[in-house]
């Protein structure tokens, strides 16, 4: 077998010939090789600067190639001491050797990963400031390689790196943190990080004086630790995160999670405040392009992985820091696509927060915070408890509740309803007190039930923003009004009270005023991503009763009010969840089937010269594996029939490394040959609407692709987002439209069974009183 042949050494006098006795023009059986099958020629540069031309047989292993190079170049050191790298210092392995040979990539004969790891660990232990920064710069590149990482870890390099992080500052610290971040992209080797290290990263990130290049990797490290919980351990991805954590094998890195990180965050009180300030900082040149995406990613990760034990504490602290206001500011000022995905993720997380609050019971006997909120509301009313005509306590009914059972009264609105009522009172306690006293002075049948109206407004807004279930959000645009939920609630409640007064409503008119308010909510909150806030205020505060009533009557002529009834809203919520999950599975199935894309040019690439470089292989086929852990792909000069399975797809991308799917980020390369319907024409300097990039935590891109059509763009961008364990968000109107259409169709089918039989659907169901004792049982029911 011909293993290797070299041409003339270009760095020594003419006449030097490094070729072996065997000819490079023979095949594996010694017969002459046809001229058309001659192997490509690559240049190989040694550590001494000697460059030779080499013909390398693509079927050989890297070890065989290195061994033949050592023989031909008369290198006396053992071949195990050497490795091959390309011009970008990427390690040549058996997986990529064939591709690099065919592309005639210049190669370098360098120290093996074993020698590099030993040398770097030794230099780290010396702490020589003159060489430390250069050593760390090399480490952050090499640590991504499995061979190097294994040697580095076996030599206790991780302990040396952690020691460097504990004492370093400035750029040296930045390089060390980046090396640690890259190491943590591996799914092994960092399972024994101590709390002192996590606290050190927290301290670094909480310091307002920390450099940008220090904050970015520190944020990524904390985010990785938050996500390394048992629920995120490798295994089939679940639609819900409620599955029991798997038993972890020895050495698994999935043993940290939210509780471990949050415990260290509590010791450094200023961390969350600093992170939120970086999100909402007015210095757009620094924040928007550097820190905001990373800070947003950390907040989103914490929200998505918060455990039941610390959830309320964490969310309350975020709310106190006014994180919603910071994100709203970003919505109006951001100019880069990186933040769009982060903001939509935040919205989806806040949908989950809102839903959880709405479904959490108000239990003043068990929760001090609930009792405290109720006490504040009652004291602000300036009312006195009394006794009704039947000798029963009279307190909460004076505020408009239907009974004295607070848990029952908040059964639908939950803690969200309690929070909204408290914020409404807190915004102007004196006005609230006057409002309550005014209602008390009226005849009982003419009183507006303020507390009941508050909870009804919560229901209307939850319906408007589709707060049906955790993990389901199909909004593809910014929702600044939703993030101002409490303010919108206060405006809508004020509108309700005004409509009650102006219409002269009585107790039986409550549903009618609710219908008026529902109509106004739709009008005031329309076009949420473009309308200014002052227009929302105007619609709620200045609209006249007669105009609102006339518009509502026209709406009733056009549609049946059946959909506004509570049972229908509940059925719609159930079907919405089912439709979302159906579309999610369909999108993931598209990923499993695979598709062709164009390799695009990223417009925001840090290396500007890349924008003018045409990919040597403009086409890429990508397919998700059945385990849903990797995206396998192949690059090609032309499209070809790809067989089922992964045999035709030699390269892969680890799904766990994808932290963001950014859209509209790249342009088509010039002069890409394409079928007539494959790719819409686009300017080479403008982003394609069908482009997307798979980004890592540090902002680097794993893939830049352009889909052939809108359907496949929606399939892949939304499919990859839905594949994420935290649910991600929907990026396309197409997917959001499918979910809505399936929900509407399902609802109509369900209604056929009822309306066909002319069954009357009540506006609500009143639960009976609870049993007075436990002397009862549930009977089994049998058909027939």
Averaged pLDDT score across all residues of the chain: 82
> Quick one: CA torsion of 669, 670, 672, 673, rounded to 10 degrees?
170
Does 328 score more than 50 pLDDT? Answer: yes
Rounded to 10 degrees, the C-alpha dihedral 293/294/295/298 comes to 120
Contact (CB, 8 A) for 635 and 620? yes
At 293, which helix (H) or strand (E)? helix 292-305
Give residue 562's pLDDT band: very low, low, confident or very high (50, 70, 90): low
pLDDT on residue 487 = 96
* Cα distance between residue 784 and residue 782, in whole Å: 6
Measured CA to CA, the distance from residue 84 to residue 92 in angstroms comes to: 5
Quote the pLDDT of residue 334.
58
CATH architecture under which domain 4-111 falls: Roll (3.10)
How confident is the model over 16-26, as a mean pLDDT?
35
Over residues 16-36, mean pLDDT: 39
Q: Predicted confidence band at 780 (pLDDT cuts at 50, 70, 90)?
A: low
The answer on pLDDT for 666 being more than 80 is yes
Report which of 344, 340, 348, 399 is spatially closest to residue 375, judged by C-alpha positions: 399
pLDDT for position 725: 60
pLDDT band at 766 (very low <50, low <70, confident <90, very high): low
Q: What is the pLDDT of residues 358-381, one digit of tens each?
A: 999 999 999 999 999 999 999 999
pTM above 0.75, yes or no: no
Question: CA 658, CA 650: separation in Å to the nearest integer?
Answer: 19
Characterize the bridge pairing of strands 41-45 and 107-111. Answer: parallel
Q: Is the pLDDT of residue 703 over 60?
A: yes
Give the pLDDT band (50/70/90) at residue 500: very high
Q: Between 479 and 764, where is the model more confident?
A: 479
* Range of weakest confidence among 85-99, 200-214, 334-348: 334-348
The answer, yes or no, to whether residue 270 has pLDDT greater than 80, is yes
Query: Do 4-111 and 578-735 fold alike per CATH?
Result: no
Residue closest to 694 by CA, chosen among 618, 767, 633: 633
pLDDT at 471: 55
Of 174 and 753, the structure prediction assigns the larger pLDDT to: 174
Mutual angle of helices 450-464 and 485-502, in 10-degree steps: 130
What is the percent of the chain where pLDDT is above 90? 41
The full set of domain ranges for the chain reads 4-111, 193-233+254-335, 368-559, 578-735
What digits encode the pLDDT tens for the residues 603-655? Answer: 765 433 344 456 678 899 999 998 888 899 998 888 899 988 888 898 888 88
Task: Give the separation between CA 469 and CA 351, rounded to whole angstroms.
Answer: 8
Q: How many CA atoms lie within 13 A of 678 on its CB side?
A: 15
Contact 234/259 with Cβ under 8 angstroms? no
**Segment holding 669, helix H or strand E:** none
Q: Report the pLDDT value the prediction gives residue 76, as an integer from 0 to 100.
A: 86
Q: Across the strands, what pairs with 108?
A: 45, 85
According to CATH, the topology of domain 578-735 is PH-domain like (2.30.29)
Cα separation of 425 and 419, whole Å?
Answer: 10
Q: Do 91 and 83 touch, CB atoms closer than 8 A?
A: yes
């Amino acid at each position: 077998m011909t293993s290797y042949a070299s041409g003339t050494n270009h760095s020594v006098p003419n006449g030097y010939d490094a070729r072996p006795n065997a000819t490079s023009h023979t095949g594996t059986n010694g017969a002459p090789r046809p001229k058309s099958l001659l192997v490509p020629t690559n240049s190989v540069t040694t550590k001494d600067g000697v460059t030779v031309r080499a013909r390398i047989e693509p079927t050989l292993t890297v070890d065989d190639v290195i061994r033949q190079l050592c023989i031909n170049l008369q290198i006396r050191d053992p071949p195990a001491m050497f490795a091959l790298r390309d011009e970008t210092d990427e390690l040549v392995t058996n997986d990529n050797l064939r591709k690099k040979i065919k592309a005639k990539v210049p190669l370098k004969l360098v120290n093996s990963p074993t020698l590099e790891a030993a040398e770097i660990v030794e230099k780290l232990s010396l702490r020589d400031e003159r060489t430390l920064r250069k050593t760390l710069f090399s480490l952050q590149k090499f640590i991504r390689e499995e061979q190097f990482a294994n040697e580095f870890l076996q030599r206790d390099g991780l302990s040396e790196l952690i020691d460097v992080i504990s004492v370093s500052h400035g750029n040296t610290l930045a390089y060390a943190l980046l090396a640690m971040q890259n190491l943590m992209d591996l799914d092994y080797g960092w399972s024994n990080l101590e709390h002192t290290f996590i606290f050190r990263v927290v301290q670094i990130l909480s310091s307002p004086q920390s450099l940008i290049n220090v904050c970015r990797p520190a944020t990524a490290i904390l985010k990785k630790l938050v996500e390394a919980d048992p629920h995120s351990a490798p295994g089939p991805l679940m639609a819900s995160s409620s599955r029991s954590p798997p038993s972890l094998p020895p050495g698994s890195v999935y043993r940290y999670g939210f509780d471990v990180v949050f415990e260290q965050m509590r010791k450094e009180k200023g961390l969350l405040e600093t992170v939120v300030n970086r999100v909402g900082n007015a210095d757009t040149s620094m924040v928007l392009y550097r820190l905001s995406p990373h800070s947003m990613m950390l907040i989103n990760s914490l929200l998505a992985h918060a455990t039941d034990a610390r959830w309320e504490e964490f969310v309350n602290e975020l709310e106190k820091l006014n994180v919603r206001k910071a994100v709203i500011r970003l919505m109006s000022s951001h100019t880069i696509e990186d933040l769009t995905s982060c903001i939509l993720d935040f919205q989806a997380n806040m949908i989950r927060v809102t839903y959880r609050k709405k479904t959490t019971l108000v239990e003043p006997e068990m929760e001090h915070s609930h009792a405290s909120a109720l006490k504040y509301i009652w004291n602000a009313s300036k009312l006195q408890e009394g006794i009704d005509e039947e000798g029963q306590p009279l307190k909460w009914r004076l505020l408009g509740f239907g009974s004295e059972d607070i848990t029952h009264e908040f059964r639908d609105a939950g803690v969200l309803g309690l929070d909204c009522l408290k914020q409404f009172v807190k915004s102007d306690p004196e006005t609230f007190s006057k409002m309550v006293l005014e209602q008390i002075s009226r005849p009982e049948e003419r009183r507006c039930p303020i507390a009941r109206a508050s909870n009804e407004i919560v229901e209307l807004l939850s319906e408007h923003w589709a707060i049906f279930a955790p993990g389901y959000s199909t909004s593809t645009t910014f929702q600044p009004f939703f993030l101002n939920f409490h303010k919108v609630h206060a405006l809508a409640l004020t509108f309700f009270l005004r409509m009650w007064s102006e219409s002269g409503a009585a107790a039986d008119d409550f549903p009618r005023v609710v219908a008026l308010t529902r109509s106004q909510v739709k009008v005031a909150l329309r076009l949420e991503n473009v309308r200014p806030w002052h227009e929302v205020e105007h619609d709620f505060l200045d609209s006249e009763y007669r105009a609102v009533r006339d518009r509502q009557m026209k709406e009733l002529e056009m549609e049946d009010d059946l959909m506004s009834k509570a049972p229908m809203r509940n059925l719609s919520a159930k079907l919405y969840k089912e439709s979302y999950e159906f579309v999610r599975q369909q999108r993931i199935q598209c990923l499993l089937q695979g598709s062709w894309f164009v390799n695009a040019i990223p417009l925001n690439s840090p290396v500007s010269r890349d924008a003018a470089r045409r990919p040597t292989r403009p086409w890429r086929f990508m397919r998700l594996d059945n385990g849903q852990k990797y995206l396998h792909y192949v690059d090609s000069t032309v499209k070809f029939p790809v067989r089922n399975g992964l045999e035709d797809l030699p390269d892969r991308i680890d799904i766990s490394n994808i932290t963001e799917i950014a859209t509209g980020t790249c342009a088509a390369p010039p002069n890409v040959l394409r079928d007539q319907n494959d790719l819409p024409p686009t300017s080479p300097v403008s982003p394609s609407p069908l482009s997307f990039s798979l980004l890592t935590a540090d902002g680097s891109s794993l893939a830049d692709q352009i889909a052939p059509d809108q359907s496949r763009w929606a399939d892949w961008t939304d499919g990859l987002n839905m594949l994420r364990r935290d649910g991600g968000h929907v990026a396309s109107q197409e997917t959001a439209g499918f979910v809505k259409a399936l929900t509407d169709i399902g609802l109509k089918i369900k209604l056929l069974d009822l309306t066909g039989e002319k069954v009357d659907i009540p506006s609500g169901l009143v639960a009976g009183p609870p049993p007075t004792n436990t002397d009862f049982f549930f009977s089994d029911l049998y058909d027939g």
